[in-house]
Structure 1
Amino acid sequence: MRYTLFGQTGHHVSSLGFGAMNLPGVPLQQAGDALNYALDHGINYVDTAAGYRNSEEIIGETISHRRSDYFLATKTNKRDYASAKEEIERSLVRMKTDVIDLLQIHYVNYVSEFQAAMDAEGAYKAALEMKEAGKVRFIGITGHRPELLAKWIAKGQFDQVLFHLNLAQPFALQELIPTLTKMGMGKVAMKPLSGGFIQPVEKAIRYPYSQDVNVIISGMVSVDEVKQNIAAMEQEVGAEERQELEQLALELGSHNCRRCNYCSCPLEIKIPDVMISSQVRNVFGLLPKGDGFYQKSKESILSCADYEPCKEKPLCEQQCPYHLPMRKVIMEAASYYN
């Protein structure tokens, strides 16, 4: 396991981090076995959020007795001071700990959200107060707009950023990661499989592993998944493999969707999932989770072509900050069912 100095925190963190978002979907014993196996085998970074159902409680129940073995990161998606402070205090209780190593302002994608969180009575004030009280050690931010995140960190108010980085979403490389490196901040990459669309798993994980990041958060729910993820990082990435991965990322990332979720569809099509999986589907096919998404979305995807309000000017495309051809990609996705 590779360990690197995590920004200017003084902590050395494992290159693989345990993403606990999906733990509420499995039995407690299975979740605990996975977490403890991860700690036993060198993973020392655990990532969760107040909004991940009862994920924080699972961590409290299963590994709080090993608190010194891991760097604990959680998040609040509240934007105002009072709600954020209440949520942070609740997180401490849920995870049975006296201190949160990293408290992140969660899922900030709009300028208005950032302004609200950073307001005089915003969530950032709550995080600072908890830091001054010794209940939070460091403060970070997460989001899906890498170019905005690069601007938002300019004042030096954060210690870390959590962002997408995978073969189908390499966009953080353009501005965000160089800015983080220059500022000496913690760099955490999430969604190495892009929510279950990218395969093979080993190749998917080795792409962010080859980049300038401290931790790759992988959502694991079993001992077998932990083993598979650790195995993917046993060998360093050589020059030839790096070049192959970079070329593949150019191809798979050509959809240009950041998963910022500005788009909304009256037919309830999950447009970012269709956009991001479009190139992956053509090159590698889909993992079972990805195929399940398409089967579940069949009716809405096939209905898109006949939806009258979008025929002249698609509603989703009017909302996209990147002006992407969403309707065209969805029309092409319909051929998946032929």
Structure 2
Amino acid sequence: MVIKMRLGKTNFKVNKNGFGALPIQRRNEKDSIEILKKAYDNGINFYDSARFYTDSEGKLGKAFEDIRENIYIATKTGTETPEEFWNDLETSLKELKTDYVDLYQFHNISFCPKEDDELYKAMLEAKEEGTVKHIGITTHKITHAHEALDSGLYETLQYPFSYLSGEEELNLVEKCRQLDVGFIAMKGMGGGLIKNSQASFAYMNQFDNVLPIWGIQELEELDEFLSYDANTILTADLKEYIEKDKEELGVNFCRGCGYCMPCPEEINISLCSRMSLWLRRFPTEPSLDEKTQKIMEKTKDCTECYSCVDKCPYELDIPELLKSNYEDYQNVLSGKTKV
């Protein structure tokens, strides 16, 4: 049974399963369209993309051109000037094969656009002309999230949220409820660190104002989320599983958002700072092969310039994470530590 919810003041009636279209940029066009069409045929009607997601918008356009009016399409712009805003919007409309976007979102930009900002005025003009139906914002920074909500200018907020989240995120969800702002939960699987989709769905199912957008790139992943319904609730076993997972991960872990990149020393921060977790949660991926060893060796080139720390929305001590993950990796490689 499809679970429907209202997405805040947009009044969208959406399937509780939202489709996060970032991962399909890693699939070929044929496979992507097959996944998208199966999602639609099974009741998923909210699709989230971004200009930043390479060919994701184009694949959505080709999959849904004939049934455009039956779905909600959300996309994003990461630009910070009015000129680039209009260029992005024009490109998105062309790629999506549509003359309007249901929800257009500022995409994790360096500030929260306010009423007097030229960038927000451009967004408002696009809404007045009908090419944008509703205005939202996405961010990884809690301060920007509260600024957006306090401004009263946004109909939705997209923010990382999963069963790994803490009190700050829960308060944000409640604040959105009180303000009737739709809460779109990105990274519902913890940036790839959560393995149990049923536990994730059951956790989200507690919040009637939260729309999770699952990043899907395999039919098998889609089938998992389609199998869950109103009866998928947090059982005692799932609660116990979640508590153990939270205890194992702690709070000082990389979510893999990638906003710390690029590194001046070309270190793959997103991979290297999570290696210890990958080794224990997904023993065969990444492996201890020669390619991965070379990637990890690059961490020794870290000069502790802290440019990554300045960009990290979670204010992690990335140089320290890189160091500890490299040491752990070497211990596993040498057999001193078992996984």
TM-score by length of 1: 0.82
8 Å contact from structure 1 (residues 159, 185) kept in 2? yes
- From 265, 268, 274, the equivalent of 2:266 is 268
Deviation at residue 152 of structure 1 after TM alignment = 3.1
- From 159, 167, 178, the equivalent of 2:155 is 159
Q: Deviations over 1:254-287 (max 9, x none)?
A: 22546473476444334344555645654xx217
8 Å contact from structure 1 (residues 165, 191) kept in 2? yes
Residue aligning to 2:169:
173
Q: Is residue 182 from structure 1 mapped to residue 178 from structure 2 by the alignment?
A: yes
- From 106, 111, 116, the equivalent of 1:114 is 111
Change (3 A) 1:323 1:89: closer
8 Å contact from structure 1 (residues 166, 192) kept in 2? yes
Range 188-197 or range 90-99, more displaced: 188-197
Q: Is residue 254 from structure 1 mapped to residue 280 from structure 2 by the alignment?
A: no
AA matched with 1:114: F
8 Å contact from structure 1 (residues 197, 277) kept in 2? no
Q: Is residue 125 from structure 1 mapped to residue 126 from structure 2 by the alignment?
A: no
Change (3 A) 1:83 1:294: farther
Q: State the SS of the aligned residue for 1:154.
A: helix
Q: State the SS of the aligned residue for 1:216.
A: strand
Deviation at residue 23 of structure 1 after TM alignment = 2.1
Structure 1: tracts of 5 or more residues without a match = none
The whole-number CA distance in structure 1 between the counterparts of 2:229 and 2:289 is 30
Deviation at residue 226 of structure 1 after TM alignment = 1.6
AA matched with 1:151: E
AA matched with 1:158: Y
Q: State the SS of the aligned residue for 1:114.
A: coil
The whole-number CA distance in structure 2 between the counterparts of 1:190 and 1:263 is 19
Q: State the SS of the aligned residue for 1:53.
A: coil
Deviation at residue 44 of structure 1 after TM alignment = 1.0
8 Å contact from structure 2 (residues 279, 286) kept in 1? no
Deviation at residue 187 of structure 1 after TM alignment = 0.9
Where in structure 2 are the equivalents of 1:1-338 lying within 5 Å?
Answer: 1-108=2-109, 113-114=110-111, 117-118=113-114, 120=116, 122-170=118-166, 173-211=169-207, 213-233=209-229, 235-241=231-237, 243-244=239-240, 246-248=242-244, 250-251=246-247, 252-257=249-254, 259=257, 261-262=259-260, 265-275=263-273, 278-279=276-277, 281-282=279-280, 285-286=281-282, 290-291=285-286, 296-304=291-299, 306-307=300-301, 309-310=303-304, 322=315, 324=317, 325-326=320-321, 327-338=323-334
Deviation at residue 219 of structure 1 after TM alignment = 2.0
Q: Deviations over 1:65-97 (max 9, x none)?
A: 111221110111111111102211221222122
Change (3 A) 1:315 1:102: closer
Change (3 A) 1:317 1:85: closer
Structure 1 vs Structure 2: percent identity of aligned residues? 24
TM-score by length of 2: 0.82
The whole-number CA distance in structure 2 between the counterparts of 1:299 and 1:169 is 33
Deviation at residue 170 of structure 1 after TM alignment = 4.9
The whole-number CA distance in structure 2 between the counterparts of 1:287 and 1:104 is 37
8 Å contact from structure 1 (residues 269, 297) kept in 2? no
Deviation at residue 168 of structure 1 after TM alignment = 4.4
The whole-number CA distance in structure 2 between the counterparts of 1:293 and 1:103 is 42
